Amino acid sequence: MKLRTTGKWTSWKRPALFWSARYTGVFVFAVLCLLAMHNHGSSPLNTVIERYRERIWISLKSISVKSDRTSVEQKKYVGLHLNIGRLGNQLFHLVSGYGIARTIDRIHYLPFEEHRAHVEKYLTYLERVFPLLNRTYVLAKNGTKQRVVKFVRENNSYADPSRLKNFADQYLLLDFILAQNVRYFEDYAAELRAVLQFSEEMKSNGSIITHSLQRHSDSMCLHVRTTDFIRHKWHTDVNKTVKAVNALAKKKEIMAFARRLKSSAAMVVDGKADNQKALKADLNLSC
């Protein structure tokens, strides 16, 4: 198993656990001695250690037990099938997988299967946008032994992951794909907000856009899913969208809005849509 870190692949080496515990024990021992000497003025060190011997021993013993347990216990993982979706679907997969893993005390992993190259392309992009996100999952190697578990049939359905807690298998692969249900991760929303912090690069790019928008306080922007709405025609009549946005604009006393698409856009001013421009123009974010 390998853990992914920013820009590098790093093997998970068990000896690091022992060294970490050893140095932690020495550090705690030194701190306890210093605190004890501070409380007892110029008492000789051996007197202080003798007086606090039992307390120090208990502290170091607890560290040792915790270290042994960490090194001996086998880490367990849970994942779901990869999908060929774009950015939104990949994010849903990652946050739902994180929530499921947290619920059953496992680590979220991405299996080695079809669409892996497609998914890794988006992982690379997401790493630039949310640099902390790659700490929430690991990538399984080819040939990883995993147990496939039936879960739910519909992608937006919900099933309580807690029933999976008693599975002893190291790798559990849930037999579903998109996991598009907020209930999988809503209990960990605060943790995910901390993880989904924009990189400095994205903050810089965003500040340029927001600065330009400040000059147009009477404008509203609407993002449209171009693949679903334009290519697949999975959308309502454009006039209904225009009507809904105009209603929102009216409530906020906004006189105009711009709708930005990849290859087409529509501009509505004073409630009138120019649909000819929608087929030809590619507007800027401001109007």
> At 74, is the secondary structure helix, strand, or coil?
coil
CA distance 39 to 57: 19
Contact 138, 1 (CB under 8 A): yes
The pTM (predicted TM-score) of the whole model is 0.58
Amino acid at 140: A
Rounded to whole angstroms, how far apart are CA atoms 272 and 61? 75
Beta bridge partners of 263: none
Euclidean distance between CA atoms 6 and 131, whole angstroms: 7
Do residues 113 and 145 make contact, with C-beta atoms less than 8 angstroms apart?
A: no
DSSP output for 171-203: EEEES-S----GGGTGGGHHHHHHHSPPPHHHH
At 55, the amino acid letter reads R
Tokens of 242: 């225009």
211-250: pLDDT as tens digits: 777 776 666 666 666 677 777 776 656 677 777 877 887 7
Give pLDDT tens digits for 122-172: 999 999 999 999 999 999 999 999 999 999 888 789 999 999 999 999 999
**Number of C-alpha atoms within 13 angstroms, CB side, residue 58?**
3
